[in-house]
Amino acid sequence: MRSTAPRTPASIRVLAYGWMAWLLLPFAILFVGFIMRLDLARTVFADPRFLSAFWVSLASAFVTAVVAGFFAIPAAYALAFGRFRNASVLETLMIDVPQTLPPVAVGVIYLYAFGPGRPWNIAFTFLAVVTAKLIVSSPFALSHTLRRFRDIRETKLDLMARSLGADTKDVLLRILVPMSRREIAAGLTLTWARAMGEFGGSLIFAGVIAYRTEILPTYTNRLSQQDPLLALTATTVMVAFALLSLLAVRTLIAGKRK
Amino acid sequence: MAAVSIKGLTKTYDGRRVLDGLTFELAPGEIAAVSGRSGSGKTTLLACILGFVEPEAGSVFIDGEDVSGASVRRRRIAYVPQDYGLFPHLDVAGNIGFGLAVRGAKPAEIAAAAGRLLDLVELPREYAEKDVAELSGGQRQRVALARALAVEPRLFLLDEPLSAIDPETKAKVAAELRALIKRAGVPAIVVTHDQAEAQMLADSRWRLESGKLLPAQ
């Protein structure tokens, strides 16, 4: 740390703290609203549709994370160690583009490709929920794993293993994955958290069918038009999960630095 | 017959010919030291022999077999890099037994081999379960050598093996290292920038200059 740092001018401090306050404002509103109307929490938690939406959200986000992990590890290996002519284009297509695609567009595309009248019609099913979540959330798993694989490649430990007789499967399972377990876990946690909050794609491709495809964000959306205070309570649950996953990722990364 | 024969090895980086038709032979059990200025191509030479880097021209023969097109794992060359290249997530026994584990050896066989190799490199058997991060530089080097010996290599490549050793103990470690390689009976190429180290370790000394290996003075 620099001990001779000059005092930050008041104008910069006002702008910085003002911006921080603006970003934290929704959390403050949520917290105060939840505390003031704790009785509403009971109403929400007693609603069987809420409980169903909660479980569908949890289960679909979990399946999404498992599928993302299953494909992200070989994909990261291919990008880190493979010889592609346009590796950076491929990486942009697999990591950046899915994250910037408007979720509504994802829903529309999938509905057109795998919707009613198509040979593989999976629209308005649990599978549709997972499919919509997968495209926007899997890039987290891939980018975290890929970054770590590239770091290991720099150390040449993969080549070291090969010189000792390891084949690609050994390099992956005995070197890359064990050495990257924290980053893979962090990437999967973020994938799961993003999948928990995904809304637009699921809304269009999976619809809002109670007890089947209704997830917490679509449940909250429906509720917000009927009773904003009840919606606020349901939102608290989503935000709590998001913060918990962020905390888990921070702990994983901090653990690595020790 | 030469244990190792390198013929016409050529490699260019950014328009500069780092290895220029390099030709070299190593007798069975011989230890050769290769020195050269920083950037003279010593690491490239090792990388080409190992198969980490593909040369533009030239061949590498080990025990008469042309391994030029062979994969890294098929060459059976034991490489001990400057930082020893130990796997940080495995303990000492896990590192030593790595080459056996990927060949399908049973845990009991790996444990027995690790014990035998710890004896050979003169480290206590209790070190088997130690974390490699807990070891000193010299101990890490011994573990790296034991790991390399486990796969019964045809050639040893050591990159700056004494660079992390204290100056006071360098002569002792060099003598031990030389004795160990001789005991294993495997020919070795040792890369070092230090002529004194080359003298302590090797039977023959070479310097890499303008992409060719010349006898050192």
pLDDT tens per residue, range A89-139: 989 999 999 888 888 899 999 999 999 999 999 999 999 999 999 999 999
Distance from CA of A79 to the nearest CA of B (A): 18
Dist CA B60 CA A106 (whole Å): 54
Computed over every residue of chain A, the mean pLDDT equals 90
User: Using an 8 Å Cβ cutoff, are B74 and A166 in contact?
Assistant: no
CB spacing of B102 vs A166 below 8 angstroms: yes
Among the listed residues B137, B150, B181, B172, the one whose alpha carbon sits nearest the alpha carbon of residue B33: B181
Nearest Cα to Cα of residue B208 among B3, B4, B20, B2: B20
DSSP letter for B191, please.
Answer: E
**Range B124-141 average pLDDT:** 91
Nearest to B98 by CA among B46, B47, B143, B159: B143
Judging contacts by C-beta atoms under 8 Å, the chain A residues touching residue B81 are: 156, 160
Which single residue is written with the structure tokens 């926007």?
A136
Contact (CB<8Å) A164/B147: yes
Name the interface residues of B facing A (CB cutoff 8 Å). 50, 52, 71-73, 75-79, 81, 85, 87-89, 98-99, 101-103, 147-148, 151
| pLDDT greater than 70 at residue A240 | yes
AA identity, residue A7? R
Q: What is the DSSP secondary structure assignment for residue B52, as one 8-state letter?
A: S
Q: What is the mean pLDDT of residues B186-195?
A: 90
Helix (H, G, I), strand (E, B) or coil at B25: strand
Ordered strands of the B212-215 beta sheet: B77-80, B155-159, B188-191, B31-35, B204-209, B212-215
The DSSP bridge partners found for residue B17 are B12
pTM, two decimal places: 0.84
- Of the candidates A212, A199, A228, the one whose C-alpha atom is nearest the C-alpha of residue A53 is A212
Sign of torsion over alpha carbons B19, B21, B27, B28 = positive
Task: Give phi and psi for B205, each to the nearest 5.
Answer: -125, 135
CB contact under 8 A, A161 and B101: no
Instruction: Name residues 122-181 of chain A within 8 A of B (Cβ).
Output: 155-157, 159-167, 170, 174-175, 178-179
> What pLDDT was estimated at residue B43?
86
Helix A228-257 and helix A38-46: axis angle, to 10°? Answer: 90
What is the pLDDT, as a whole number, of residue A1? 52
Residues of B in contact with A164 (CB under 8 A): 73, 78, 98-99, 102, 147-148, 151
Whole-number percent of chain B with pLDDT over 70? 100
Tell me which residues of chain A, numbers 25 to 64, contact chain B at a CB-CB cutoff of 8 Å. Answer: none
- A-to-B residue pairs, Cβ atoms closer than 8 angstroms: 54
Neighbouring residues of B30: CB distance < 8 A, sequence distance ≥ 6 = B3, B187, B188, B203, B204
Q: Cβ distance A183 to A72 under 8 Å? A: no
Asked whether A154 and B81 are in contact (CB, 8 A), the reply is no
- Take residue A105 and report the two structure tokens written for it: 């567009």
Q: In sequence order, what are the beta bridge partners of B60?
A: B6
pLDDT at position A258 over 50 = no
Nearest to B103 among A157, A165, A179 (CB): A165
Over residues B9-23, the mean pLDDT reads 90
> What residues are paired with B61 via a beta bridge?
B5, B66
Kind of pairing between the strands at B77-80 and B31-35 = unpaired
Percent pLDDT > 90 in chain A is: 63
Name which of A116-130, A170-184, B158-172 the model is least confident about.
B158-172
* Tokens matching residue B166: 């204290």
Average of per-residue pLDDT across A128-152 = 95
Reported as a pLDDT band with limits 50, 70 and 90, residue B164 is confident
Residue with the larger pLDDT of the pair A252 and B125: B125
How far apart CA A83 and CA A105 sit, in angstroms, is 32
Q: Is A117 helix (H, G, I), strand (E, B) or coil?
A: coil
Kindly state the tokens that stand for A10: 């008041």
**Distance to chain A for B217, nearest Cα, Å:** 33
CA distances from A239 to A178, A194, B80 (A): 31, 11, 51
- Which residue of B43, B46, B102, B155 to mutate against A (max A Cβ within 10 Å)? B102
Written as one string, the DSSP assignment of B65-100 is EE-TTS-HHHH-EEEE-TTTT--TTSBHHHHHTHHH
The answer to whether residues B128 and B91 touch, using CB atoms and an 8 Å cutoff, is: yes
Residue B165: pLDDT above 80? no
- Name the more confident of B89 and B167: B89
- Per-residue pLDDT band for A66 (boundaries 50, 70, 90) equals very high
Residue B145 and residue B116 in contact, taking contact as beta carbons nearer than 8 Å: no
- pLDDT category of residue B149 using cuts at 50, 70 and 90: confident
Chain A neighbors of B99, CB-CB under 8 A = 164-165
pLDDT at A3: 58
DSSP secondary-structure letter at A9?
P
Distances (CA, A) of B93 to B107, B115, B120, B131: 10, 8, 14, 9
Please state which of the ranges A20-29, B16-25, B161-170 shows the lowest mean pLDDT: B161-170
Average pLDDT over residues B5-33: 91
Chain B residues in contact with A178 (beta carbon < 8 A):
89
Average pLDDT for residues A78-95, to the nearest whole number? 87
Interface probe, candidates B76, B89, B157, chain A, greatest A C-beta count within 10 A:
B89
- Bigger pLDDT: B18 vs A250: B18
State the pLDDT confidence band at A148, using cuts at 50, 70 and 90. Answer: very high
pLDDT tens readout for residues B166-187: 788 788 888 888 988 888 888 9
Predicted confidence (pLDDT) at residue B217 exceeds the cutoff of 80: no
Q: Is the pLDDT of residue A255 over 80?
A: no
Measured in Å, how far apart are chain A's first and last C-alpha atoms?
A: 19
The reported pLDDT for the residue numbered A2 is 55
Tell me what the pLDDT averaged over chain B comes to. Answer: 90
Helix A38-46 to helix A10-36 angle (10° resolution) is: 60
pLDDT in tens, A190-199: 999 999 989 9
Task: Respond yes or no on whether ipTM tops 0.95.
Answer: no
